Amino acid sequence: MNLQTAYYKTPLGTAKIVGDANGIQSITVLDEDIETSVEITDCLKDCATQLEEYFSGKRTHFDLKLNPQGTDFQKKVWAELQNIPFNKTRTYLEQSKALGDVKAIRAVASANGKNPIWIIIPCHRVIGSDGSLTGYAGGIWRKKWLLAHENPVKQQSLF
């Protein structure tokens, strides 16, 4: 089956969605301004709709067939990323522990950085042990925006 491509404008740039009947292979955010595709094939339409719902605050969980391309280890890391709940974060160390190998922290961080499916596999929810917004392929400002979008109400400290 031929891979299909669609473009969808988001508040953070244009999302380039690539996939086919086997699932979404990649969603990348582009800095260039490309109009939303007029004709979106059925295999990508659901993805564009769910992204729209996410950005409008109506969706906290994605229900899409995914088909990311990578090594077995990368796929394991990306699958674990999907277990991080909406509006929660996890450190790289916690992510390594969840995968069963605390020593794999660098490999886990590397696999996070190669995540091909922007937002839906939520690598933006992984932060540094000190709470810092470390590396993000789409740019730190996008990571900050996504985390604020998912957790708009800031709780006041008790102390």
State how far the Cα of 4 lies from the Cα of 104, in Å rounded to an integer: 35
Residue 123: active-site member: yes
Chain center to CA of 18: 14
State how far the Cα of 65 lies from the Cα of 147, in Å rounded to an integer: 24
Q: Spot the catalytic one: 24, 123, 126, 146.
A: 123
Contact 68, 116 (CB under 8 A): yes
Contact 120, 24 (CB under 8 A): yes
Which CA distances in Å does 104 have to 73, 128, 145? 11, 15, 28
State how far the Cα of 78 lies from the Cα of 120, in Å rounded to an integer: 10
Where in the sequence numbering do the catalytic residues fall? 123
